[in-house]
Amino acid sequence: MHDYERSGNYGDEIKTLDDDLIGIEKELVDDFDDEVNVYSMYRRSDTLWAGFMAFRWILNMFTIGIPWTFISQIFFAWNVLFNAKWNFLWAGGNVYLIANTVYAYIQTWMSVFLIYEIPFYMRHFKLFRFMSLVAAMVYNVVYIVSVADFLILLFKQKKEEIDIFYLMSAMFFGYNIVLHFPITIVNAVIFFKEVVMEMF
């Protein structure tokens, strides 16, 4: 039981929670006003580049944000459709397939928030952004190694040395390359966006 429950002092706890919510709401409104009030920013600009940067957020939303939101949802739909239809509902609950779908879902929305450069997300979710970036790099490295191993198995491995183990490995790698390649594109977008923001 919490202290305020023992004391019956619910009013102060509710007021504190209400103040916190008001603070978050004010911060979100301020961030939104700063980003969308581009006309006043444009009028204060004294150079062409500064004027262009005043419209950067809106340009980013329409030229990159909205298209990427649509494309990333298609990628995620591919994963869900493949697993639901051709894998017969994630192979009856296969942990590996379910984990990949959950990972794809999380990375998809992390990439969308990142592409839009939502101020509240960019400022307060740095730890999650870092974790997403590391996860993206590790996943893509493993994927690239798997592709390389698959190609070596197909074109470099001597046919007389191929046994059931090599055959099963080739099937596993080929299957995962086809199923999970959209995830690597989402990861690449996360990596590229984070690098670009650090540079500029």
pLDDT digits over 159-170, tens only? 666 667 777 777
Q: Which residues contact 89 (CB under 8 A, 6 or more apart)?
A: 83
Q: How much is the pLDDT for 174?
A: 80
- The predicted model scores a pTM of 0.72
Token pair 């706890």 in the structure block, residue: 13
**pLDDT tens-digit map of 48-81:** 555 555 567 778 888 899 999 999 999 999 999 9
Lowest mean pLDDT among 10-14, 30-34, 94-98, 110-114: 30-34
The predicted model gives 30-59 an average pLDDT of 57
How far is residue 81 from each of residues 84, 135, 139, 143, 177, measured CA to CA in Å?
A: 5, 24, 21, 21, 16
Whole-number Å distance between alpha carbons of 35 and 175: 44
DSSP state of 63: I
d(Cα 145, Cα 184) in Å, to the nearest integer? Answer: 13
Mean pLDDT (the chain) is 79
Mean pLDDT of 15-42: 57
Lowest-pLDDT choice from 60-69, 152-161, 175-184? 152-161
Residue 139 has pLDDT above 80, yes or no: yes
> Cβ contacts of residue 126 below 8 Å, gap of 6+?
none
Q: How far apart are CA 179 and CA 167, in angstroms?
A: 18
